[in-house]
Structures are given as C-alpha cells and as structure tokens.
Structure 1
C-alpha cells in the first residue's frame, strides 16, 4: 500500500535539500581552494589549509548524509506512516552540530581532519585551547545523536510494520521459502542503513566521549589502536550509509519513469543482506598499514572489501540497465543524473578495490589515489543521486520541467568531475601524498588540472542549485 508523505515532512524535505545544496557549494569551493594552493595558483598558510581540509572533509560527509536522509524519508513515507517530528528533530540537531563544528574550525583553529584521530584533539587543545576540540567533538556527537534517535524510531516502525528487521530485510523469502517478492527496495535499504549506521554511530560516540574525557582529564587515556578502530568503524560506515540511503532514489525514480516496478527478488534481497554484514567489517582496510592489527582482521579487511563492492552495486547497476532497456523512458534531469550515478558508483568502487589489496595499500593508501576513488563514488555517485532527487522532488511536488539548460548543467558537471577524479587518480599513481598543504614541482600539474576542473564543477552545481530554488516556488503551492 502506498501513502502520501505528511505535509510537514514534505516541508522538512525542502529544508534538508536547501541546506544540502548551499553547503555543497561552499564545501566544493573549499575543495577548489585547496587544489589552487597545492597547484601554486594561490597561496594560503598551512594553518588555513588544514582548517579548510577539516571543514571540507566532514562537511561533504554531512552534505551526503543530509541529502541521503531526505531521499530515504521521502520514499519510505510511501510505504510506512512516519512521524514528521522525528525527521525535523534530526534536521535541527544536525544543524546545531554543523554550527558547532564550523565555529570550532574557523573560530578556534581546530584542524585535526574529519577523522579527529585520538590523541590529536588533546594535542590540539595544548596549542589552541580546549574550546575548539570540545566544540568540534560535541558538534559531531550531537549530529550523531540526532541520527541515532531517527534510526531507533525507524527501527521501531519497521518492526511494527513487518514483524522484525529480519523480515524487512526479506528473510522470509531467503530462508523460509516464502513465494513472491520481498518488501519494497526502499524498505530493504532503510533496514540495512538502520542496522549498520546505528552500530557506526554508537562506535563513534564511544571514541568521541573518550576523547572529550581525555581533553578534560588528561590522566584518563584510551588505547590509540582501539580508538582508531572505533573512529573508522564510525567514519567509514557512516560514509557508506549515505550512498545506501541515496540509492533509494534510483529504485523509486527509475521505476516511476519506466512504469516498471523494481521488484525485490531473492537475488536482490541476498545482495542487500550480504552488504549489511560486509559494510560492518570492511572498515579494517583503513588499518592495513598498522602492523599491530591482528593478521586475521587485515585479511577480513582485504577479502570483504573485494566482496562488498559486488552485491548491492552489481544488482543495482544491472537492475538499472534492465529496467531502462526498451522502456521508452523519457530522459530528463532526474532520470539522467540517477542513471549516470550508477556509473559513478561502479567506477568509484574499482580504485577502492585496488587500494584494498595489501601490497598496493602499503604504497597507495596515503596518496591522492584514495580521494580519487572517494570523489568518484561520492561526487559522481551520491551527490549525483541527491541532485537528481532535487529535480525529481520539484517535478513531482511542483511543476518543474526539463530544458536545454539542464542538459548543459549535467554535461558540465560530469565532464569536469571526471577531470577532478582523473587528476587525483593520476596523482596517486605517481605517489603524490594526500593531506599535504605544499606539493613538490612534479605534482603541481595534476593539482592545477584538478583545480580548473573543480571551478567548472562549482559553476555547474551553482546552476543546478539556482534551478532547484526557482523550482521550489511551484512546490510551495502544494505544501
């Protein structure tokens, strides 16, 4: 049974998307500034570079999370009646967390990167005072609490509606031989996100609270390796969850455009169940260079990083091709971006799988190869899905129509985003380090190519955002 989204939730989707689009432009500008500095086209101090790097890293994850959440809630509302106050509460706590993080970075000089690896916050406190690290950590903690509350509520609704999270993941069809098709893809994906990201946020809360205590009471310390595990169990899974939320738009929108239902067959359900398990395990590929980590854990990091790239990604990419094939689909901004996002997701996974090989990882992991893969699946995958949903939302809830301006924006965005990720991957292949404010002469050319490409990507994103805001006028009449 399908139901309509609550009017308050619809307005809250607009709040999410407005915030997402504005933050996206600012975060992209910060990324371009870093590339311009590395490419010796402008000059900023190392102190400012690392503040910008910190803001860009955590800011882009926040952008993806806000956009992905709006997609998940909007489409899940078709199948389950949801209380919009929870949705609004998560937005409010996210906004508070973002404000605290921005104040910490630019007001109190916190520049320990989005990973805030222990004991860096405490060491930063010795140089710049405790205010910056505490504001940053409390900001991330508040943001995480907002998501944990939302996931707990969604888990309760899924359990009530389907009789358990196992059933909303399709276990009746996988293990008990139930005939037909499982729960809608939006329900299956939401269940996966609730399980994996709740675990991630709890891991993050533990290490954040430990860091806060260490700053206030230095005598109380944590094991640095345990802290690193908790940090990456939080950060890596949280980043992954953004694409699993955003991909719901691919299922729903392409199904709507082709008038072909995207069915949850057994292969689809098995893929999502496998990814639920694998996503919780593969953060260990960030620890392949840590000799103190048990060998069995490093093997898990390598093997399951290979495996995780296949289940959902292959099923979704193949499904997108099949649902579109001979469907007579009308290509517009939403359908084009969501279809192209499949390319971004698949293309981004390839260098990630290469980097997950231990012998390669030892050479490549601390190079620009890693932001190369990350920007591919994030910028050309997750963000493309969010931008596509922004157009779809205005079209579905308002009266927005595709024009040649939109076609130009898509071409501009994907052409020059390919330039960014290409420059990163090329730089990584010749061992250009990531997170360095100053580069050697032989690395500068790739930085300049990335910077110029980035400027055009920002321009394309501004054009897309302007179209989104102008389209909201029609939506306002229906909300």
Structure 2
C-alpha cells in the first residue's frame, strides 16, 4: 500500500531544502575562508578563525542532517501515514536551535569546536562568561530534541505498519519465517537511522546537560573520559546517519530512473542489520590515541571500523551498478548525481579505514588526513545526494529543464572536490595538523591548492542552487489536502 504525500509535507520538505541549500553554501564559504587564511592569502584573527571553524563543523553536520531528514520524510511518506505537522515542528525547532548556536559563537565568542569536549565549555565560561557556552549547548540540545521527536514518531509508525522495528529491519526474512521481498529500502534505512540516531542523541544529551550543569555549578562534575565517549558516540553516529538518510534518495531515485524496483531481499536485510550494530560501535576509533581507554575497546574500534565499510556500502554500490546495467536509463541531472554519490561514499571510506588502523591513527588522526576523508565522504557522498534530491524534487513537484550547465557543473564539482580532498590527504601525509589557524611555510602550498579548489566547488554548488531555486514552484498546491490511500 502506498500513500499520496500531503501538500503540507511537500511544502515542509521544500522549506528544509531551501534552508539546506543556503546553509551549505555559507558553510563552504567558511571552509574556504579558513583555507585562505592558512594559505596566507588573507589574514583573519585566530579568534575569528576558531569561531568560523566551530560554526563550519557543527553547521555542516547539522545541515546535512536536515537535508537527509527531508529525503527520508519525503520517500517514507509513500509507505507510512505521516503527519507533516511533526516535520514542521522539527523545522521550527531546528531554526531556533541554529539561532541559539550562532548567538553563542558570534555573539558571545564560543569557539571550542563542534565537539565541545568537556570541560572546555566550562573553562571557556571562566574566561569569556557563561553565555556563549550556554547558548551553544542549549542550541545543540534543542536541535537534538527536534530530531528525537521525529525519530520517535517515525518509530511509532514503523511499528504500527510492520509490527515492530525488528520486522522493518527484515528479521522475519533473515530467520526464514517469510520469503520473498520485505519492507521497502526506505523503511529499512529509516529504521536503522531511528535506532542509531536516537541512541546518539540520548548520549549527546547526557553530556550536554552535564556540561550545562557544570557551567552553572562547578561542583557538579562528570568523568572526562566518560564525557569524551558520550560526545564522540553522539557526534560520530549522528554524522554517519546523514548518509543513511540521504541514501534513500539513491534507492528511490535510481529505481524510478530505470523503471526497475529496488527490492529488499535477505542479503539486503543482513547488510543493514550489521550496519546498525557496527555504526553504534565504531565511534571508538576516535579514541585510539587515548591510553586510558581499555585495549579491548580500541581493538573493537579498529576491527569493526574495517567491517562497517562492507555491508551497506557494498550492497548499495553493487545494487546501483546492477539496477543501471542494461536498463536503458536516460541520464538526468539528479540520476547522475545519485549514481556518482556512490563513488564519493566508497572513496571517502578508504582513507577512513586507513585512519582506523591503530598504528596509523597514532600518527595521522590529528592531521588533515581526517578532514580529507570526511570531506570526501560528506561532500561527494552526502551533499551530492542532497543536491541530487533537490533536482529530483523539482522534477516531481516543481518545474525544471535540463540544459548544458548540468553536466558542466557536475564535472566542475567532482573534479575540484577530488582536488580539495587530495590536498587534505597530502597535507595529512606530511603531518599538517588540523584545527590550526596558522601554518608553517612548508604547509602553505597545500592550503592554497585547497582554497583554489574550494572556490570552484562553491561555483559549482552555486549553479546547483540557482537551478534548484529556478525550478521551485508552490509544491503541495494540489487540491487534495488529505492523505489518499492507493491500493
């Protein structure tokens, strides 16, 4: 059974995408500003640099989550009777949270980085006053609550429709109780995200609330190592789930482009179940340099970081190749971006797996190698999926015409994103530290290459965005205001 998406849901998705497009461009500008400063092409104060760095890190992860959520909601609305007012409520909470975060950073000079590692916020409060840290932490908490409400609501409907989250993850098919094809990939991926991100947000809420209480009353303390575990469990899982929401567009979009259904079989279910478990475990590869962490936990971080690259990515990438092969597909802007995003996802995982090796991690983790793999994963994977969905949304709900700018902008984007990530990985190879406002002379050239590539990435992204805004019409203006079931 499928449903027609409510007009309000389409409008809410459109608002999410408009906000996502604007903030992505702003975050890219922030990133280039940092590279220009490190490359000695402009000069900004260290204070401003670290504020920009904080905003860039938390902003890009947050906005990728907002765009991913829009994708998840749009396609999941075909299979579940979702009330769009819940999505609107999340959008309002997101905006309020963003305003609070920006006030904390630029109004009250909070610049501790997106990780806000305890006890840095309380130490910052001692120097610059508590307002910055409180606004920042409260904003993150508000964002988390908004997402948690969404995930709880989606979990409720997944349970109602499929009989439980374990069933929407295909356990009946894995255990042989049912045969054939099970819940659609959109439902499977959404179930994984609900489980993982709800866990992540709760972990983050614990450490954020503890940090807020510590600022208000320094006598209230938390073990720093526990706080670091909670922080990275939150951050790593939340960042990973951006792509697990966005990849739903690949499943649904390529299926539509090829007129071939992307069905959930036993192998597909097993892959997503393993990915659910591994995603919850592998944040420990961020702690490989911490001597106080139990050795068994570090080994788990390494082994399962290797394993996590296989289940979903291989199944999805291989599935994308199979569904396109001899399909007679007529490539459009959005279908090409969906297909190329598989390359971005896979290529970004390779340097990540290398960094998750303990002996390599001890040397490379605090270098630019890490933003190299993350920008590859995020920029050519997640953000590419989101840009592709913006075009797909216009094709379905708005108006758009293909033109020669499409292929040009894709080539421009991917060519120079590879250049940007290559400059980061090279910088990591020569031990250029990440999160430094000023660089030694021998490091400057890689920064300048990265800045040059970043400017051209912004140009390509600007073309994507302009095309998206030109194609928008009043989505959801149809007369039907109710969810109409289609047999």
TM-aligned CA distance change 1:139 to 1:87, over 3 Å: same
Alignment of 1:262-273 (within 5 A): 262-273=262-273
Partner Cα separation in structure 2 for residue 424 and residue 23 of structure 1: 23
Tell me how far apart the structure 2 counterparts of residues 427 and 477 of structure 1 sit (CA, whole Å). 50
Corresponding residue for residue 452 of structure 2? 452
Q: Matches of 1:474 and 1:82 in 2, distance apart?
A: 21
Q: Distance in 2 between matches of 1:24 and 1:176?
A: 44
Give the superposition deviation at 1:438.
Answer: 0.4
Q: Distance in 1 between matches of 2:19 and 2:152?
A: 24
Question: How many Å separate the matches in 2 of 1:88 and 1:305?
Answer: 36
Aligned partners of 1:397 and 1:478 also within 8 Å: no
1:107 match: 107
* Structure 2 residue aligned with 1:317: 317
Residue in structure 2 matched with residue 299 of structure 1 by the alignment: 299
Aligned to 1:276: 276
Name the CA distance, whole Å, in 2 between partners of 1:145 and 1:205.
9
TM-score by length of 1: 0.99
How far does residue 177 in structure 1 lie from its aligned partner after superposition? 3.5
Aligned to 1:289: 289
Per-residue deviation at 1:478? 4.9
CA drift at 1:477: 5.5
In the alignment, the residues of structure 2 paired with residue 456 and residue 191 of structure 1 have an alpha-carbon distance, to the nearest angstrom, of: 37
When the two structures are aligned, how many residues end up with a matched partner?
A: 479
Preserved contact between residue 423 and residue 446 of structure 1 (Cα < 8 Å) = yes
Deviation at 1:474, TM superposition (A): 6.5
For residues 49 and 397 of structure 1, the distance between their equivalents in structure 2, rounded to whole angstroms, comes to 40
CA–CA distance in structure 2, aligned partners of residues 141 and 204 of structure 1: 8
* TM-score, length of structure 2 as denominator length: 0.97
Q: Which moved more, 1:397-406 or 1:226-235?
A: 397-406
- 1:419-458 correspondence runs (5 A): 419-458=419-458
> Could you say which structure has the greater relative contact order, defined with CA pairs below 8 angstroms and 6 or more residues apart?
2
Q: Do the aligned residues in 1 keep the contact of 2:10 with 2:475 (CA within 8 Å)?
A: no
Question: Is the contact made by 2:2 and 2:78 (CA closer than 8 Å) also made in structure 1?
Answer: yes
Name 1:91's counterpart in structure 2: 91
- Alpha-carbon deviation of 1:189? 0.2
Preserved CA contact (<8 Å) 2:399 2:473: no
Structure 1 residue 175 displacement after superposition: 1.1
Q: How does 1:359-374 map to 2 (within 5 A)?
A: 359-374=359-374
Structure 1 unaligned runs (5+)? none
Give per-residue Cα distances to partners, 1:158-204, cap 9 Å, x unaligned.
Answer: 00111100000000000134110111000000000000000000000
Q: Displacement, 1:473?
A: 2.6
4+ runs of 1 displaced by more than 2 Å?
473-479
Point out the more displaced range, 172-181 or 46-55: 172-181
TM-superposed CA distance for 1:448, in Å, is: 0.2
- Report the Cα distance in structure 1 between the residues aligned to 2:60 and 2:290, rounded to whole angstroms: 27
Is the CA contact 1:117–1:228 (under 8 Å) kept in the aligned structure 2? Answer: yes
Q: Tell me what 1:257 maps to.
A: 257
